């Protein structure tokens, strides 16, 4: 296993997908409280719990397939895996959108903002970030948060030298130009 094959963008996409899998299982999606007289009871439920935990399970499956797709591409590039839309990046974007769709359906089936736990809001933020990052990776642009690109802030490489008119050499004088041909 060669970790040098894994790009920074891959770490971000895979990391967000893995975080979302963990958050869907662990964080409190719903928080319910019942008070009767002097007695009160409360319970927290993760996204994979009822009601409609199957939607979160389908989101988790899509996320695990996304992670597996990324791992197969980077650690076993000779393995031929079906693609959606002709590229691995597009496949991962579609899988991220499928997971986001299941998270959105779970939300739409139970719109009661007073019942949502803090984990719901964290999951929504991570889901939006995952779709954004997967879209950036699909388009081939560097993943940027707040203007920081994948080059780590390094300046772009200088352009290659251009050949001189008719001579096929690059300029070498102090002014960057070439010397005129003899007899001009």
Instruction: Tell me the per-residue pLDDT of 118-133, one tens digit each, with 9 for 90 and over.
Output: 888 898 999 999 999 9
pLDDT, average across residues 93-105: 92
In whole angstroms, give the CA distance from residue 37 to residue 28.
Answer: 26
| Conformational region of residue 140, where left means phi above 0, alpha means psi within -120 to 50, and beta covers everything else | left
Please, where are the H alpha helices in the chain?
8-26, 53-75, 88-109, 118-139
pLDDT of 108: 85
Entry pTM: 0.67
Instruction: Tell me the per-residue pLDDT of 139-151, one tens digit each, with 9 for 90 and over.
Output: 877 666 554 444 4
**Are the C-beta atoms of 117 and 29 separated by less than 8 Å?**
yes
- Give the architecture-level CATH label for domain 3-32+45-139: Up-down Bundle (1.20)
**Backbone CA torsion sign across 89, 94, 97, 98:** negative
pLDDT of 181: 58
In whole angstroms, give the CA distance from residue 152 to residue 6.
Answer: 16
State whether residue 15 is helix, strand or coil: helix
pLDDT of 113: 59
**Backbone CA torsion sign across 63, 69, 70, 75:** positive
Higher pLDDT, 172 or 27: 27
Q: What residues does each domain of the chain span?
A: 3-32+45-139
Supply the mean pLDDT for the chain: 77
């Amino acid at each position: 296993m060669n970790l040098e094959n894994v790009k920074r963008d891959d770490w971000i996409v895979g990391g967000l997908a893995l975080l979302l899998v963990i958050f869907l299982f662990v964080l409190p999606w719903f928080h319910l409280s019942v008070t009767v007289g002097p007695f009160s009871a409360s319970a927290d439920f993760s996204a994979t719990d009822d009601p409609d935990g199957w939607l979160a399970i389908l989101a988790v499956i899509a996320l695990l397939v996304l992670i597996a797709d990324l791992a197969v591409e980077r650690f076993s590039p000779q393995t031929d895996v079906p693609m959606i839309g002709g590229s691995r990046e597009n496949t991962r974007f579609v899988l991220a959108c499928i997971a986001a769709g299941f998270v959105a359906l779970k939300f739409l089936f139970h719109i009661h903002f007073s019942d949502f736990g803090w984990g719901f809001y964290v999951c929504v933020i991570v889901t939006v970030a995952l779709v954004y990052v997967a879209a950036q990776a699909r388009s081939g642009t560097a993943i940027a948060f707040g203007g920081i690109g994948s080059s780590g802030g390094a300046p772009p490489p200088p352009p290659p030298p251009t050949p001189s008119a008719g001579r096929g050499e690059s300029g070498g004088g102090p002014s960057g130009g070439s010397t005129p041909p003899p007899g001009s």
